[in-house]
Structure 1
């Protein structure tokens, strides 16, 4: 009771009638050769109490749960990598990325209220959200940044400071109006060119950049086939490869107690630049 009271006092800016606090516990389903170490992650989140009232960015969606399970199921994909998430919402995926040892986690959202709630959630989970050049961030094992990012307004120069190895997104393919902007941002983030800075001669770093191209993983529920087709077409026109890996790379079930969570409705896409 004292814990919850202190939380309410700390986050007094929230409308207590529209936000609640939840704990999402990810637990290994079995102890076997696949998971030599038990997965046990508890994410404490401030989120919307009603996702249908317009506060969608502060809601916990099935795709976010699915993508979080994917991160925990395949930690080697994300460990020691710079991970950049689009439309991060409450920040659940970022908490899981930090848990598996991502070298840097950049969470972004284009809604100021959602971004503010996300930052508070990172603090609630004792994750560092200092600026990139701060000493605290460089010395902390919790390397999480929360950034404002408008898909419509962001330019390529705005992203020059980031060279993500992995781009992520959950339920970000939802509006045909936003699809061209989303595809443009994905294309910029997945392209490794002069943004990493000029060097003289060929170095090991340059070789790594050339051979290990960035990849994106997007979890989505196809509520409107026309919108998804619009995304697939725009991606192909922009030179992006979109593969559905839901069956071949299904995550483990870390949320068996969450009966309302429908995993079957979520699809997992792997996106990369066509060579």
Structure 2
């Protein structure tokens, strides 16, 4: 049931669902009703704080999920809850046209190394994000989570010492998964930045939904505005680590991005110790090669990180298509 819950909230296409063990986990109407409550599809007896955000999946996705679930359980001869059929009928009626442009997605963090996965997925820390369903919306790709963020979150979850106690600045934060995850993984503070107004508005909203306090901030940061290397002129809090995911995709942005990384590493609170972690989905080898070449030309060391095995999230392009780089100024 935990795995089904995680796949559902990530909005994984139902054709890619792993239904292994579903018959045992959902073998009675009572267990099926429990799943629906955990997915916030029916009222739950579990008390939810008034201030907590109750995530809501897109109706069109709920319909596809319920159809696949019912078909699977019927095939196995499992007695089905009446609530499944009633919910499917009610939700199908509410779906009109192309469906909603936005939805809530929840990303559960992998358990810490050496700990057992909890019996209930609800005991795992999760990040709730309001995202656009389309890959491109309002002229930007920054209103949904991309797989390089998932890959870096999964790696850092297995190596929490990388971010523990760090003061982090994120470039191209988008809807906020990576930065919020770093805060939950032990970062002292996270300052998430982007440049598009619609993205910044959504980012601020997602920060508020997750209610992590003053240790998480958002602001506008334009890569074209390099600054003079002083933190004050960059409008950033003191930091000692930079993170970014899925920012290496457009050749025309490589120069500004590298200049920004170089400027920030020099402006960090402790320049000799500062480092930048970038996760990149390789789509065009020439673009990624341009990125590493320009970093080297700027005097930066680029270290390829051997990522931990990917097994927690669903990756639409394959986890092995993501490279993780550690970037820093080599000390003498």
Across the two proteins, how many residue pairs are aligned to each other? 229
Q: Judging changes above 3 Å, is the alpha-carbon distance between structure 1 residues 230 and 85 closer, same or farther for their aligned structure 2 residues? A: same
Counterparts of 2:324 and 2:152, CA distance in 1: 8
Match of 2:19 in 1: none
Runs (4+) of structure 1 exceeding 4 A deviation are: none
Contact 1:190–1:213 (CA<8 Å) still a contact in 2?
no
Greater strand fraction, Structure 1 or Structure 2? 1
Q: Judging changes above 3 Å, is the alpha-carbon distance between structure 1 residues 63 and 184 closer, same or farther for their aligned structure 2 residues? A: same
Counterparts of 1:252 and 1:60, CA distance in 2: 17
Selected match of 2:131 from 47, 67, 86: 47
1:110-139 deviations in Å (ceiling 9; x for gaps): 1111011011011111122xxxxxxxx3xx
Larger Rg: 2
* SS of equivalent residue, structure 2 residue 165: coil
TM-score (norm 2): 0.63
Contact 1:217–1:268 (CA<8 Å) still a contact in 2?
yes
Q: Judging changes above 3 Å, is the alpha-carbon distance between structure 1 residues 243 and 127 closer, same or farther for their aligned structure 2 residues? A: same
Contact 1:48–1:56 (CA<8 Å) still a contact in 2?
no
Contact 2:203–2:218 (CA<8 Å) still a contact in 1?
yes
Contact 2:109–2:181 (CA<8 Å) still a contact in 1?
no
Q: Judging changes above 3 Å, is the alpha-carbon distance between structure 1 residues 251 and 75 closer, same or farther for their aligned structure 2 residues? A: farther
Contact 1:73–1:252 (CA<8 Å) still a contact in 2?
no
TM-score (norm 1): 0.75
Q: Judging changes above 3 Å, is the alpha-carbon distance between structure 1 residues 4 and 167 closer, same or farther for their aligned structure 2 residues? A: closer
**Higher RCO, 1 vs 2 (CA within 8 Å, ≥6 residues apart):** 1
Counterparts of 2:235 and 2:126, CA distance in 1: 34
Q: How big is the shift at 1:52?
A: 3.8
* Residue ranges of structure 2 left out of the alignment (5+ in a row): 1-40, 44-53, 57-98, 119-123
Greater helix fraction, Structure 1 or Structure 2? 2
Contact 1:164–1:189 (CA<8 Å) still a contact in 2?
no
Contact 1:73–1:251 (CA<8 Å) still a contact in 2?
no
Q: How big is the shift at 1:159?
A: 2.8
